[in-house]
Amino acid sequence: MSARKDRRAGEAGRRRSRALGPANSMITAPENGRAMIARETEPECVKVPPAHESAAVLDEALLPRPVAGDFALPFTAVPDLEVPDLAPLVLGPTPQVSGKGPGRDVGHVAAPQEEPGETLNNLPMPDFERLSLNLARLVEQGGKALAAYLKPFETGDGKPDMSSEVANAVRSIGRVVEHWLSDPVRTVEAQTSLATNFLSLWAHTLRRFAGEKDEPIVPLDPADKRFAAPEWRESPFFDFLRQAHAIATNWADDLVNRADDLDRQTRDSAKFYVRQISSALSPSNFLATNPELLRETLAQSGDNLVRGAALFAEDLEAGKGTLKIRQTDLSQFELGVNLAATPGKVIYRNDLIELIQYAPSTEEVYKRPLLIVPPWINKFYILDLNPEKSFVRWAVAQGLTVFLISWVNPDERHRDKGFEAYMQEGVFAALEAVEKATGEKHVTAIGYCIGGTLLSMVLAYMAQGHDDRIESASFFTTQTDFSEAGELRVFVDEEQLRAVELKMTAKGYLDSAKMANAFNMLRPNDLIWSYVVNNYMKGKAPVAFDLLAWNSDSTRMTAANHMFYLRDCYLENKFTRGKTVLGGRQLNLSDVTIPVYHLAAREDHIAPAKSVFIGAKFLGGDVRFVVGGSGHIAGVVNPPTKLKYQYWTGQKPAGTFEDWFATTTETKGSWWGDWLNWVTDQSPAKVKARIPGEGGLEPVGEAPGDYVRVRY
């Protein structure tokens, strides 16, 4: 038996020696525990350093080898390169070993003597009895999670279906792979690029393990919170994982960007899904490869994993078999109390909207009312968060009489209500109600996001009918041209639209989770994986945050409305080409000649500033174009008291966005005051404050109303 083991050890050693290249190196283990690669003519065997076997495997894996495939990179072992014993650096100190055996001593491994709670190689020692109990509890929680996942299949209620997303990812990434593999020269170029970077990383890692200081191949980005723990910099092992992930990610991104013969839609889609995959495969997302998670799990003896598994099972159940990641503690918020709490009355209600009139906080108000048309993707109270962030409360305090549309969260009854219904039963119904409540026929209006897209079409429709009830309009992060519509375009092509239409046919609406997931995928590291790590691995419930409470309060969209938006706007970009038909009229944006305040956000991924700028150029009247700092939400919800961000103003939109922006003037702080001056200068007359319900309409309820409270 001993002889057979010796022969196997010798054969393994010769295989390892041959893998090192033509120099025929041999690894020996001196008494000090450090390994040496020395040139030999005919090595007999490879002796493993006195450490855990897995450390020896890692030691061997870090040595560069010829690259398999259509080509091979020559490699010659470097003579006299000192390689450290890796086990203490990765796995902890070498256990004391007794006994005898071929090649090394084997036998009883003495257990560490530290008590639970003390540290071994800077890692906390767990309570092993408690850890064992927690492993059993993990199995129990895993069963609950599995039951929550399988429940929709048993009841037939909302079966999870990601087939269209997976098919689109495979199709777009497959086209990129086909591009690079169809030409042998390109194939070699791609392989060489990846292999060269990894060879450099391996050499860097060997130097780090040898105790040398060496600059990383991929520097750590201080803004990337995933790798904030010091071990990602200080440990050669975790530094290797971080850089390997970055190299692979950058390589894949480069392949997509340089796939020149692909159409733009396919390339953008591939880039989007590569980002999803690279974000998911980050070493920070796994217990075994995240030093912070390892430390926390050992310190808590696995308590964190049990808590996380319980949260995971609850979120699966809440999502009816689809993981609905909680982003905040919703129990800390209540509509009408600390969200959407600006005082007011619901003065009008129909099947599609509730109209809220807010109570004045000044003795006099501006004569011309303000009507706000918010998006129906999520809910209106993004403009009425807590009192410090509420645009509505601030506008009321400036002396404006504010009316706001609250859209219904639709069900099967609303399946056929499209953009025309949202115009007639939404905007026009609201205008009539405002006139009855105040006696004022003319208003100024705000449209936010898709609410602004609807408002722009309504204005074009009204212009053809010489309807002047809206005297001026403000668009907040609103797209009217979709030629540069941003990352959401990856979800829109003929094949995907057919799949979406088929899914909506049965129910009559798009489920709220679909759009919520799409928006989260625009920022997967921040809105998906950070919560996966925090909630399910650290076992920490998320903190209370009003903006994320709003973000999680997603809404359905009617089938007719959603298909019109996707096909007419995103896919065919009809509006600015004069081909959109609404209410029997062919619309032209240039017919809109009223004054317009057009706000874009510089870091907006949903309505990119460049896209907003292009659409603004089609308007036929005077346009004040403003770019706010930050993104789609924070760029709008930026109260003056916070002194955050900045905004840029310039001439009427013309030329390219880049050229226009280069001539702008930057102003620190919020743009809200600039907007207020623009609005009130047009109509400065004031009247006595109007009390909701004292006009021509009786209140039907208290703000924020009933429609906003409907959740699915």
pLDDT digits (tens, 9 = 90+) for 14-40: 444 443 343 333 333 333 333 333 333
Label residue 152 exposed, middle or buried (CB < 10 Å: 0-12, 13-18, 19+): middle
Give kind and range of the element (H or E) at residue 35: strand 35-39
Q: How confident is the model at residue 156 (pLDDT cuts 50, 70, 90)?
A: low
106 and 247 in a single domain? The answer is no
Residue 531 lies in a domain: no
* Residues tagged active-site: 449
102 with 138, same domain: the answer is: no
Distance of alpha carbon 69 from alpha carbon 184, whole angstroms: 11
Residue 451 maps to a domain: yes
Q: What is the pLDDT of residues 580-624, one digit of tens each?
A: 999 999 999 999 999 999 999 999 999 999 999 999 999 999 999
Distance CA 480, CA 491 (A): 18
Tokens found for residue 368:
């011309």
pLDDT in tens, 208-267: 999 999 999 999 999 999 999 999 999 999 999 999 999 999 999 999 999 989 999 899
Domain count, the chain: 3
Examine the domain organization and report whether 139 and 214 are in the same domain.
yes
> Lowest-pLDDT range, 131-135, 440-444, 471-475, 659-663?
131-135
Residues 388 and 470 in one domain: yes
Is 37 within a domain? yes
Q: Looking at the structure, do residues 146 and 11 belong to the same domain, yes or no?
A: no
Verify that 177 and 83 share a domain, yes or no: no
Q: Is residue 206 included in any domain, yes or no?
A: yes
* Final residue belonging to a domain, choices 318, 333, 355: 318
Give the helix/strand (H/E) hosting 344.
strand 344-349
> Are 200 and 103 in a shared domain?
no
Distance, in Å, from the CA atom of 544 to the CA atom of 548, rounded to the nearest integer, reads: 8
Tokens of 305: 């994993």
Domain co-membership, 138 together with 94: no
Mean pLDDT value of segment 518-527: 92
Closest CA to 619 of 458, 472, 456, 494: 456
Domain boundary among 318, 333, 358: 318
Per the CB < 8 A criterion, the answer to whether 596 and 617 are in contact is no
**pLDDT for res 515:** 86
Give yes or no for a contact between 537 and 300, defined as CB atoms under 8 angstroms apart: no
Residue 640: CATH number of its domain = 3.40.50.1820
Residue 602, in any domain of the structure? yes
Q: Report angle CA 474, 366, 387 to the nearest 5 degrees.
A: 70
> Tokens representing 552?
């999680």
Of 53-67, 183-197, 338-352, 392-406, least confident by mean pLDDT is 53-67
pLDDT tens digit sequence for 371-391: 999 999 999 999 999 999 999
> Residue 1 corresponds to which amino acid?
M
Which structural domain range is residue 703 located in?
345-511+556-709
**Which stretch, 32-41, 132-141, 545-554, 613-622, has highest mean pLDDT?**
613-622
189 plus 269 within the same structural domain: yes
274 part of a folded domain: yes
Nearby residues of 204 by Cβ (< 8 Å), 6 or more positions away: 214, 216, 217, 243
The residues near 229 (Cβ < 8 Å, ≥ 6 apart) are: 290, 291, 292
Pick the more confident residue, 399 or 88. 399
Question: Can you say whether residue 477 is alpha, beta or left, with left for phi > 0 and alpha for psi between -120 and 50 degrees?
Answer: left
3-state secondary structure (DSSP) of residue 82: strand
Together in a domain, 357 and 312: no
pLDDT at 345: 98
533 belongs to a structural domain = no
Round to whole Å and give the CA distance between 243 and 321: 35
Cβ atoms of 654 and 617 within 8 Å: the answer is yes
Whole-angstrom Cα distance, residue 676 to residue 376?
Answer: 25
Of 111, 142, 169, the one marking the end of a domain is: 111
Q: Let me know if residue 286 belongs to a domain.
A: yes
What average pLDDT does the structure give for the chain?
Answer: 85
Residue 74 scores a pLDDT above 50: no
Integer Cα distance of 595 and 535 in angstroms = 48
Nearest to 356 by CA among 388, 333, 379, 332: 379
Predicted TM-score of the model (pTM): 0.80
**Are 101 and 201 members of one domain?**
no
DSSP letter string over 217-275? Answer: SS---TT-GGG-STHHHH-HHHHHHHHHHHHHHHHHHHHHHT-TTS-HHHHHHHHHHHH
Token pair of 227, please?
A: 């790798």
Answer with the residue of higher pLDDT: 204 or 69. Answer: 204
Instruction: Based on the fold, state whether residues 303 and 366 are members of the same structural domain.
Output: no
